[in-house]
Structure 1
């Protein structure tokens, strides 16, 4: 799973600037005044071959007991709980403050891996200017400049090194997964994820309780059905109520992201009593972006009347239109209704995601599609699609070669996707089409 890095510090030390640098984005708003960031903000980054998740947080005041600052402190505590390593950011130019001491005391008590980073340290070296930060008792001080990128890569390498697994351990994990379908059950809180897994297993393996946030960490449970081995991943974990922060969100975002990333197939559960919400659409969007095979299931179908059922179906058609390729089921996990057909769709989606697409057949389908409907002209010329081959699995990738393909419209790519999907029965999996134009050998030559 991707390691998680939480950025923590008092207001206006440059957490959002560093977040944008680590994610190579401008997702976090940056301004020269304190208190701009209030909620947790998640982003993804990559260093070499290693992916990671970064959490941006608001200004942290551990002792805040009222108002917006109390809520911001709760958000930060949740981010720290989800993180594998904490990057504690201080202001190299403003110097040490009492608030820095409070945050350092809180982090020391947690005992999590922590890096002390002095931001805005452009032009500074390890020496007298940074010596005062050693008072915090969190080890060496890493000088960086988030705005200019100085020292950021070294800091990131240090963070990832503390979490690195031995190569042998990674190989063993890959070997153990051969032939196992990793199935993640995702959805909003209290939608019935743990109840469904318990129903499959025939025992109370996971805590199921009528309270959002009961499950916190991703729990993997081995399961075998009709000779096929599965690893069932509940996108949450087990904590007693006293161990859960008062500020717990509807579900642990980062654990859901990690579970989806590591799965082969994702079962997205929707609550029939609430319909498709923004949160459902966000999770569905991430599943599509991650390229995972997906099966949709509407739980608690027995608890709604005919009018509500019609509304749920309409909301799925409109808000989740981008998942039209996924099979849809209406179930009741508690009453064991409609459960068996889910397995057929799950296996079918996995088979589609890992299906081999022969080059001769792909090329023949491509020519038939062009003959039936040619792409629109782009300027003076019409794009020419010559041949296609498979470029990857899970999700399937079809690479189309030709000339002038930069003029192929998004609508035509969807048309090709539909033809390929129907011919190979790619139900339940995203399909990606890449267009590669041949280089013009005369482009660099004069007339």
Structure 2
């Protein structure tokens, strides 16, 4: 079994930079501003032939009870309790501060093995400052530069006693990729070895983190009344009724004109990547102020990315006249989101736990529709019936011949219809085909792509390229 290594220290000593270095990806947000990291972020780390789970934590700070900083500290303390070994980071360029001494005592009281790391030790100044770390009483510090990758061999030697070496390869040894670094479309259909990716998105303070905590049954995400607590896209491995799930909690998405801070821009970019690489996206709406303009823009973005969409009406416990509000919500959804007519709408409450089973059932059902394939024979029988009922109009006195249809790919379902003059086919007729296709094969509530292409049955046609 792989050990768990927690990276702790006061703010701005380079914890997230070291985390990214060890996982080999830019997963955690990094900025010069102290206190960027708030939630615990876990990753699969490799150093030489050593493999272990790594946990990035929020910077340890003194704080009043019930404050945001206090809740961040509680998350870090939980990471320390669950770790097999703790990497305690100091800043060699700044030297030791009273906070370093205070929290070194906190780590010491936890009883966990501690490896002292003197980060930012590159250069003459950093090298000299590393010796100051001896004062903490954790033994010889490991001089390191997480940003430049210097000193990793010494860290390897320090971690080796806690690691069992590489695990044998097998069917379950599947490399997990995180949304923060890779580009492209959603991967292959999830199977026993590949979890279903679900991203929770929405405006700030819509209840995303509370909903994630309710689903997994633990206080994994940092929550509170303050808007914009979540900054990173945090992934959680989870299982629902035997189905493996990779659940992503994301930062709230505000209107673009309101985003001025560099750190918020990084958080928004991370959320957009989560949408791009998810398979199902749950859009959380505040039941007290649903379907704001920003909600509709986020929904439109999800549809353009081709992801399966489920709308969660959160904070349902705050609604009094529920029957009336529910009817209004369904009518508003159909009117404002015609591009995904029939999208699942689920009433939930992350605070009370109501509606969670309905939400996950809707997620699994919409993912099945999103992954559906229709055979070419079925498509062409459908096309023949459609053309019999309503043939394409003649344009400039010439009739357009529609030859055949096929499904190019799924996830989302993408279809190609071949005809003689694709550029002349009216948009109204393309919409007719798309709507009938969606209704006939029960592809409601998901993005659907329909491409009209030219082609000829005659390979010697001079107009064919």
TM over 0.5: yes
Decide whether the 8 Å contact of 1:377 with 1:407 is kept in 2.
no
Decide whether the 8 Å contact of 2:204 with 2:251 is kept in 1.
no
Structure 1 residues 39-71: Cα deviation after superposition (integer angstroms, max 9, x where no partner): xxxxxxxxxxxxxxxxxxxxxxxxxxxxxxxxx
Matched, 1:184 2:187: no
Matches within 5 A, 1:187-336: 187-236=202-251, 252-306=267-321, 312-336=329-353
Partner of 1:343: 360
Partner of 1:28: none
Partner of 1:407: 424
Matches within 5 A, 1:8-407: 172-173=175-176, 178-236=193-251, 252-306=267-321, 312-407=329-424
* Structure 2 residues without counterparts, runs of 5 or longer: 1-30, 38-92, 94-147, 149-173, 178-186, 253-259
Decide whether the 8 Å contact of 2:251 with 2:268 is kept in 1.
no
Residues 290 and 444 of structure 1: CA distance in aligned 2, closer, same or farther (over 3 Å): closer
Residues 381 and 233 of structure 1: CA distance in aligned 2, closer, same or farther (over 3 Å): same
Separation in structure 1 between the aligned mates of residue 278 and residue 261 of structure 2, nearest angstrom? 30
Decide whether the 8 Å contact of 2:330 with 2:345 is kept in 1.
no
Structure 1 residues 288-319: Cα deviation after superposition (integer angstroms, max 9, x where no partner): 11100111111112323436555544443333
Decide whether the 8 Å contact of 1:217 with 1:235 is kept in 2.
yes
Larger displacement relative to structure 2 (248-257 or 201-210): 248-257
Residues 341 and 396 of structure 1: CA distance in aligned 2, closer, same or farther (over 3 Å): same
Decide whether the 8 Å contact of 1:213 with 1:249 is kept in 2.
no
Matches within 5 A, 1:414-425: 414-425=431-442
Decide whether the 8 Å contact of 1:182 with 1:264 is kept in 2.
yes
Separation in structure 2 between the aligned mates of residue 323 and residue 255 of structure 1, nearest angstrom? 25
Query: Scaled by the length of structure 1, what TM-score is found?
Result: 0.56
Query: Scaled by the length of structure 2, what TM-score is found?
Result: 0.54
Separation in structure 2 between the aligned mates of residue 179 and residue 365 of structure 1, nearest angstrom? 34
Residues 231 and 208 of structure 1: CA distance in aligned 2, closer, same or farther (over 3 Å): same
SS of 2:435's equivalent in the other structure is helix
Decide whether the 8 Å contact of 1:220 with 1:232 is kept in 2.
yes
Structure 1 residues 74-120: Cα deviation after superposition (integer angstroms, max 9, x where no partner): xx999xx89xxxxxxxxxxxxxxxxxxxxxxxxxx9xxxxxxxxxxx
SS of 1:322's equivalent in the other structure is helix
Q: Which residue of the other structure, out of 408, 433, 436, is the alignment partner of 2:453?
A: 436
Residues 428 and 320 of structure 1: CA distance in aligned 2, closer, same or farther (over 3 Å): closer
Separation in structure 2 between the aligned mates of residue 424 and residue 218 of structure 1, nearest angstrom? 35
TM-superposed deviation, 1:411: 2.5
Separation in structure 1 between the aligned mates of residue 244 and residue 283 of structure 2, nearest angstrom? 20
The alignment of Structure 1 onto Structure 2 pairs a total of residues equal to 279
SS of 1:173's equivalent in the other structure is coil
* Structure 1 residues without counterparts, runs of 5 or longer: 1-75, 83-108, 110-161, 163-170, 238-244
Decide whether the 8 Å contact of 1:384 with 1:405 is kept in 2.
no
SS of 1:375's equivalent in the other structure is coil
Separation in structure 2 between the aligned mates of residue 347 and residue 389 of structure 1, nearest angstrom? 26
Residues 312 and 211 of structure 1: CA distance in aligned 2, closer, same or farther (over 3 Å): farther
Residues 251 and 189 of structure 1: CA distance in aligned 2, closer, same or farther (over 3 Å): farther
Structure 1 residues 108-146: Cα deviation after superposition (integer angstroms, max 9, x where no partner): x9xxxxxxxxxxxxxxxxxxxxxxxxxxxxxxxxxxxxx
Larger displacement relative to structure 2 (333-342 or 207-216): 333-342
Separation in structure 1 between the aligned mates of residue 201 and residue 270 of structure 2, nearest angstrom? 10
